[in-house]
Chains A and B, each alone.
Chain A
């Protein structure tokens, strides 16, 4: 995420590897690390998932609570996405209010879900103009070994796949726990540019060594529902197009395997 300065030695090492067509952990440039998705692992949450991408580990919990709709969409539910980079996940994370990296992480994941209209917000209306369901998507990073965005986005959509409406708990319509069907399954794919090569799913060191990167979030029908460029250097137009194409392709792969 935060493509920051790393020491030159490690950066040179990463670049030299890439020049020889290799990566630190032996993967191909377009390969993800091993991915594990476990759904429904937090009982108290209405939806949850733990996602591991290599050593990166993210826990996403979704809570639903009745609340007020926004004035400009009185008949629609509300999505609020939040990310916490808790200090246990990295020596670089510090306690305190969200910094720009955690804000960006949350907002990129949020945009992907919103843009894809994965959740039909009109189904979350309890009483027009008065009461709707607020969907809180909370991203809890447990271990940061790079590419938090893809892990968090995958965790978010996996959590939403088994989302129940806790109507009873709030004394609303006694129909038990109704499931909320998803309309789409957006998947985020993050790539970095290292020495002119596109590397999918950068690990921590690669992320630090790279000077630019791009996340592409795409949907079941191949449309794009979110993008974000990172880093202190620019990307040539052709490179961006190439990344978009690759992102869509990889997203499809992940969707079929894990969602």
Chain B
């Protein structure tokens, strides 16, 4: 991972001017798609993602139905133009794994027993990518699920922490991700301190992990407030 010759921290600040515990600017819009049952547009710095929810609806194929509850499906997909080098359309191994992890990140809050034999489809499209797309996708999906009227216990909020130039920092951008030493995307139910997704690559000590976890928890709380505000305001501005 580590490349020599790129200084990611100068005078205690990151290249984009952020402090170690600072999120990139976030923008959330609810109900942006007409046809979907629920939707959300989410920006995190230069990441632009959109999530749509369809369902609960009849599940196909029928043999995959669960007689007791709804089945949650999640598709993470990157637009070919979302990255510097064109991404070949369609699922690759990375997106298959991210889809699985993201689905599991949301499952703990969804009350699936109300709609047996149905499926709830979450489609996340990454329109522009600048590191952190899976976390942005989970944030958008969580809001879109609420918007679709899906019964849920809570929202899920997600952010990545990482290590650059030996420092544990919040929310890596693409340059930091490419040249940093470690990256750890986390999703959680912010108000319950419950972790619903956790991945890590690169290298960090146990203390750095603990520090990262605290940073992430704090940030998820902030993201949660923004998600909540976006949902509440949608029906307040009449």
Direct contact of A and B (CB under 8 A): yes
Interchain nearest-CB distance for A175 vs B (Å): 28
Q: How many of chain A's residues touch chain B, expressed as a range?
A: 35 or more
Say whether B194 contacts A236, CB under 8 Å: yes
Task: Scan B171-200; emit 1 where CB is below 8 A from any A CB, else 0.
Answer: 000000000001010001100111111111
Tell me, yes or no, whether A147 is within 8 Å of chain B by CB: no
Say whether A223 contacts B108, CB under 8 Å: no
Nearest A-chain residue to B214, judged by Cβ: A237
Interchain nearest-CB distance for A198 vs B (Å): 14
- Chain B residues 209 to 223 lying within 8 A of chain A, measured CB to CB, are 209-210, 213, 217
Tell me, yes or no, whether A230 is within 8 Å of chain B by CB: yes
Say whether B201 contacts A225, CB under 8 Å: yes
Tell me, yes or no, whether B111 is within 8 Å of chain A by CB: no
Tell me, yes or no, whether A222 is within 8 Å of chain B by CB: yes
Tell me, yes or no, whether B97 is within 8 Å of chain A by CB: yes
Say whether B200 contacts A103, CB under 8 Å: no
- Bound Cα distance A224, B96 (Å): 24
Tell me, yes or no, whether B107 is within 8 Å of chain A by CB: yes
Tell me, yes or no, whether B205 is within 8 Å of chain A by CB: yes
Q: Which residues of A contact B202 (CB under 8 A)?
A: 115, 225
Say whether B195 contacts A222, CB under 8 Å: no
Say whether B204 contacts A234, CB under 8 Å: no
Tell me, yes or no, whether A248 is within 8 Å of chain B by CB: yes
Nearest A-chain residue to B85, judged by Cβ: A71
Q: How many of chain B's residues touch chain A, expressed as a range?
A: 35 or more
Tell me, yes or no, whether B203 is within 8 Å of chain A by CB: yes
Stretch at the interface among A24-32, A36-44, A104-112: A104-112
Q: Which residues of B contact A224 (CB under 8 A)?
A: 200, 203-206, 209
Tell me, yes or no, whether A98 is within 8 Å of chain B by CB: yes
Q: Which residues of B contact A98 (CB under 8 A)?
A: 93, 96
Interchain nearest-CB distance for A188 vs B (Å): 12
Say whether B104 contacts A114, CB under 8 Å: no
Q: Which residues of A contact B197 (CB under 8 A)?
A: 229
- Bound Cα distance A106, B92 (Å): 13
A interface residues, Cβ below 8 angstroms from B: 5, 98, 100, 103-104, 106-107, 111, 114-117, 214, 219, 222-237, 240-241, 244-245, 248
Which 3 A/B pairs are nearest by Cβ-Cβ distance? A234-B194, A227-B200, A229-B198
24 contacts between A and B (CB under 8 A): A100-B96, A100-B100, A103-B96, A111-B201, A114-B1, A223-B203, A224-B203, A224-B205, A225-B200, A225-B201, A226-B200, A227-B200, A228-B101, A229-B101, A229-B104, A232-B104, A234-B108, A236-B192, A236-B193, A236-B194, A237-B188, A237-B194, A240-B195, A248-B206
Given contacts A103-B97, A114-B1, 6 further A-B contacts (CB under 8 A): A104-B96, A115-B200, A115-B202, A223-B203, A231-B104, A237-B188
